[in-house]
Amino acid sequence: LHVGPTIQICQLNIEGISRSKCEYLERLLKKHNVDVLVLEETHIEHTHLFDTYVFSLKTANQHRPSIINVGIEIPVITSTPEPRWNFKKADWETFQKSVDTNIRWIPPTTNAFNRFIGIIKAAAKRSIPRGFRKTYIPCWMEESKALYEEHSLNKNPATATAMLESLNSARRERWKSLVEETNLHSLQQLAYKHRTTIKVDAIASHLIQTSKAPVDKKFQRQVMRQLSTNLMAAPRSSTMSDPFTLNELNAALSATKSGKAAGPDGVYPEFLKPLGPKAKR
């Protein structure tokens, strides 16, 4: 059969693709007049579960070749080294007993809040696993694992396609749930993590320094004294200032959603919802 002009094909096996290697491949194509360069990466087992072939096509004007990924490829995500609580494997009974046992040594006052948080975190460390995965495949489930093992045995393209469709379907459902349930208040953890500690007085001083309005310090002191006097003389609201009841506390905890970000104190909703009777009192 007459198939036209001869096509020069060069096949190589390399480990990783870097800028210097691309420059070398460019010179290789020019020197040997190669039309198609086939690269096979099989050394990086932790990033590719299937053999991935990369075809580098030489353009007519001898520019650097464009790289096209061809074949079945499963991306593996590298996690950030930040430990997370695994609430699904938590021993909540041990957590509750630990908090109730140690809560008796803390008086129920606002000054003891930090001690209360310390007890909760100490109990969480003993009863809730905490860590992170170095690498993982998003939405990799038992079905995907079974299809992958089947493909490893028979090398059937239909099995690989079914596995990828299973992954894509699970990712699509997770994306929909995340978009529908996303709450902007959950971003407060990131904001507090990277925030700079700025006090209200510093903000007021900055506004005074940058504004062109005249400042009367004597008038400011009079206003602050008058405000303090008014607050002290204000009538006490029996409805809003009375201590909340145990039923109100349970109702608030029941309405609290799980899976949300922690506040600046590092306490997650999952820490508060399983508290025992002594801790709630």
What digits encode the pLDDT tens for the residues 5-14? 677 777 777 7
More confident: 230 or 53 = 230
Summarised one tens digit per residue, pLDDT across range 259-277 is 888 888 888 999 999 998 8
Query: How many separate domains does the chain show?
Result: 1
Judge whether 42 lies within some domain.
Answer: yes
Judge whether 238 lies within some domain.
Answer: no
More confident: 194 or 209 = 209
Calpha distance 69→49 (Å, rounded): 14
Judge whether 208 lies within some domain.
Answer: no
Range 40-62 average pLDDT: 45
What is the percent of the chain with per-residue pLDDT over 70, rounded to a whole number? Answer: 73
**pLDDT value of residue 196:** 56
Judge whether 35 lies within some domain.
Answer: yes
Look at residue 198 and tell me whether its pLDDT is greater than 80. no
Q: What's the chain's average pLDDT?
A: 76
More confident: 203 or 94 = 94
Residue 244's φ and ψ, nearest 5 degrees, are: -75, 155
User: pTM for this structure?
Assistant: 0.46
Judge whether 50 lies within some domain.
Answer: yes
Judge whether 174 lies within some domain.
Answer: no
Look at residue 92 and tell me whether its pLDDT is greater than 90. yes
**pLDDT value of residue 5:** 66
Look at residue 255 and tell me whether its pLDDT is greater than 70. yes
CB atoms within 10 A of CB 196: 4
Structure-derived torsion over alpha carbons of residues 176, 177, 180, 182, reported in degrees to the nearest 10: -120
Judge whether 264 lies within some domain.
Answer: no
**pLDDT value of residue 96:** 92
**pLDDT value of residue 61:** 43
Highest mean predicted confidence (pLDDT) among 41-50, 121-130, 135-144: 121-130
Judge whether 44 lies within some domain.
Answer: yes
Q: What is the domain range of residue 34?
A: 9-73
